[in-house]
Amino acid sequence: MSSKAKKEWIGGLVLLLLIGFVGTSMFGYETVKAAMNDAYVPLSHKEPLSEEALKQGKPISALLITKNEEHTSFVHMTINKKDAHVHMTNIPVASILKDNAQSTEQLLQNAEQTLGIPIDYYAMIDQTSIKTIVDKLDGIVINNPTAFTNDERTFPAGEVKLTGEEALAYLQPVHEQDVLSAHDRQILVAKTIIKQVATVPSFTKAKPILNELSNTVQTNLTFEDLSLMRKQYKAAFASIKKAEYPQTEVEVQQLTSKLQLS
């Protein structure tokens, strides 16, 4: 695999999970591994997939948790090598977040009960730190695909420069059905941050920003897991299917059958 293709694929996976935010070809193997180690927080109630299971390409179930000062959102992700797809489904907050004081373990258990399937991995992103990162970069310039208004701010289509506070408003879902679009905006912001961090003249200046990035994420996914997934699930990440959580019981059963990992 070429260095360029390797960078693009690793970046794509890391951006999808919103973990790390850096590619090994940009900042080096050890730097990315250290960032992943800083973000690693295992679950006590279950073990993740084994190395052998990942080598065999077993289907992966993950929960993406996005938090900021005002909102928490949940997206379930199934990575299935057999049908070569990634399925992403927005899960209603009320079905998982029963109490603001709930631990990560409890959130995952609630999600498993709602979906009726096990969850192997989680990635929890605290968007509050994004404000600090963007401000350290003196703002970021994004190419916004669709105009919208959020938090009394209007973001026009096209090139937009964001301060840290504006970036938080840009990432905030406008409503419950906007969560998946908000994830697309997170990927756009993360890509922009990667590019701008890579242009920082001195790596010693870039390193604090990379450390801040790693502090935004908590996950039970290790760097070794990520490396195996890069090798075994590349084809699946070429096709991403997104869906809102259905409203009727029949539709819920249909969705659950699609997500079954047997």
3-state class (DSSP) for residue 144:
strand
Angle between helices 164-171 and 128-136 (to 10 degrees): 140
At residue 72, φ and ψ (nearest 5 deg) are: -125, 135
- Asked if pLDDT for residue 162 goes beyond 90, the answer is yes
Residue type, 191: K
Q: Which amino acid is at 30?
A: E
Largest Cα separation within the chain, whole Å, is 56
One-letter amino acid identity for 197?
A: V
pLDDT at position 17, please? Answer: 43
DSSP symbols for 165-218:
HHHHHHHS-SSGGGHHHHHHHHHHHHHHHHHHHHT-S-HHHHHHHHHHHHHTEE
Look up residue 136 and give its amino acid: K
The mean-pLDDT minimum among 1-15, 193-207, 239-253 falls in 1-15
Quickly state the pLDDT bin for 205 (edges 50, 70, 90): low
Give which of 61, 59, 54, 62 is closest to 83, Cα–Cα. Answer: 59
Q: Which pLDDT score is estimated for 168? A: 86
Quote the tokens at residue 79.
Answer: 């990575």
pLDDT in tens, 95-134: 888 877 788 899 999 998 888 888 999 988 887 778 888 8
User: pTM of the prediction?
Assistant: 0.75
Structure tokens at 107: 């959130």
The answer for residues whose C-beta is within 8 angstroms of residue 118's C-beta and 6 or more apart is 46, 61, 112, 261
Of the candidates 59, 52, 91, the one whose C-alpha atom is nearest the C-alpha of residue 75 is 91
